[in-house]
Amino acid sequence: MVENKKTKNLKEFSTSADRFEGANLLCPGCAHSIIVREVLNATNDDLILSAATGCLEVCTAVYPYTSWDASWIHIGFENAATAVAGAEAMYKALKRKNRLLQPERVPKFVAFGGDGASYDIGFQWISGAFERGHDMMYVVLDNEVYANTGGQRSSSTPIGASATTSPAGRVSYGEKKEKKDMMAIMAAHGSPYVAQVSPSKWKDMVKKIQRGLNTEGPTFINAVSACTTEWKFAPEDTIAIADLAVDSLVFPLYEIIDGHELNITYRPKNVIPVKEYLAAQGRFKHLFKPEFKHILDEWQVRVDKKWEQLQRREEARI
């Protein structure tokens, strides 16, 4: 068992032992495992974890094996937040009654869920846990699709992506709805800390995870998780794709404190055109046909507008 002591600094982080083993059945190049390892490595504290059904759970706990070297609860697709919130409530009750066997060990409570489990099917359980104010962190592994069941669209799937339930074809350019803004929704719950991260910017990511873990109350992390299978790129390009996502500002890196104070935490020196990000993935390849040029143009306008909004909110400090 890992000793319970102060959160690691960056140097310690980069040299510490893993609590999430490399032995798992995730696709080669899957960003889920990179993100999970970074979350677990960002602290020395004891961890009570849960994972919703999805690629992460299915590929890391194939009976009788486990990739997790920490207390880990597999729970239904919809209620990873509830499982960890329940464990946190039990911990508090035992503490109040002086019944903790090792009161000096103070664990952190973290739930992991995919975008399908979080943006859609488990949303009300996340909302409930945040409204009740449990001391926990919720991490979304956001690959913008129900990957584990064959690539169906979720409310996180962006416009123009081809998914199995919003396929691109002769007349359709794929997904028609805009990606749900979970950052805004979770900030509106009054969460003390909400942040968006990318595994390609690991220092930024680790700082945010450490802040989320050390902030009292329910905190939220949305992590872009490039999916080699459903986004259709070569496994060795995972981090390059994550970099394109943040450098094109499709996936801007920022945090929102106490529901309102917004900080942009990474400003690309050279912002790349959105179409470079889209062109690198098979799920968008149909958008490069002449008849869908307007979709590409609209993408750039949308991203520019969102970036302006974020900057205005940061400046306004409201």
Ligand X SMILES: Cc1ncc(C[n+]2csc(CCOP(=O)(O)OP(=O)(O)O)c2C)c(N)n1
Among 38, 45, 115, 255, binds ligand X (CB under 6 A): 115
Q: Are 108 and 43 in contact (CB under 8 A)?
A: yes
Determine the interface stretch with ligand X among 19-27, 52-60, 158-166, 248-256 (rule: CB under 6 A): 52-60
* Nearer Cβ to ligand SF4 (210/281): 281
Largest separation between any pair of C-alpha atoms in the chain: 69
Which does residue 59 touch among ligand SF4, Mg ion, ligand X, none (CB within 5 to 8 A, set by kind)? ligand SF4
66: left (phi over 0), alpha (psi -120 to 50) or beta: beta
- Minimum CB separation of residue 225 from Mg ion in Å reads 7
- Minimum CB separation of residue 215 from ligand SF4 in Å reads 28
- Minimum CB separation of residue 242 from ligand SF4 in Å reads 13
Which does residue 229 touch among ligand X, ligand SF4, Mg ion, none (CB within 5 to 8 A, set by kind)? ligand SF4
Among 54, 160, 218, 252, binds ligand X (CB under 6 A): 54
Name residue 154's amino acid: S
Which does residue 107 touch among Mg ion, ligand X, ligand SF4, none (CB within 5 to 8 A, set by kind)? none
Q: Is 40 one of the binding residues for ligand X (CB under 6 A)?
A: no
- Minimum CB separation of residue 216 from ligand SF4 in Å reads 32
What's the N-to-C CA distance of the chain in angstroms? 43
Q: Is 67 one of the binding residues for ligand X (CB under 6 A)?
A: no
For 295, phi then psi, to 5°, come to -70, -40
Q: Are 68 and 130 in contact (CB under 8 A)?
A: no
Helices (H), the chain: 10-15, 31-41, 55-60, 80-96, 115, 123-132, 182-188, 202-214, 238-247, 274-279, 293-316
Among 116, 199, 212, 218, binds ligand X (CB under 6 A): 116
Enumerate helices (H) and strands (E) in the chain, giving the number of each.
11, 8
Q: Are 61 and 74 in contact (CB under 8 A)?
A: yes
Q: Kindly provide the b/e burial profile for residues 61-94, where b requires at least 16 CB atoms within 10 angstroms of the residue's own CB.
A: beeeeebbebebebbebbbbbbbbbbbbbebeee
- Minimum CB separation of residue 165 from ligand X in Å reads 11
Q: Is 149 one of the binding residues for ligand X (CB under 6 A)?
A: yes
How far is Cα 270 from Cα 255, in angstroms, rounded to an integer?
21
Interaction with Mg ion in 153-182: which residues (CB under 5 A)? none
Site residues for ligand SF4 per CB under 6 A: 26-27, 30, 32, 55, 59, 143, 147-148, 227-230
How far is Cα 242 from Cα 277, in angstroms, rounded to an integer?
9
Q: Are 271 and 249 in contact (CB under 8 A)?
A: yes
Q: Is 114 one of the binding residues for Mg ion (CB under 5 A)?
A: yes
Q: Is 143 one of the binding residues for Mg ion (CB under 5 A)?
A: yes
- Minimum CB separation of residue 225 from ligand SF4 in Å reads 7
* Nearer Cβ to ligand SF4 (26/182): 26
The residue ranges that bind ligand X (CB under 6 A) are: 53-56, 76-78, 113-117, 121, 141, 143, 145-149, 154
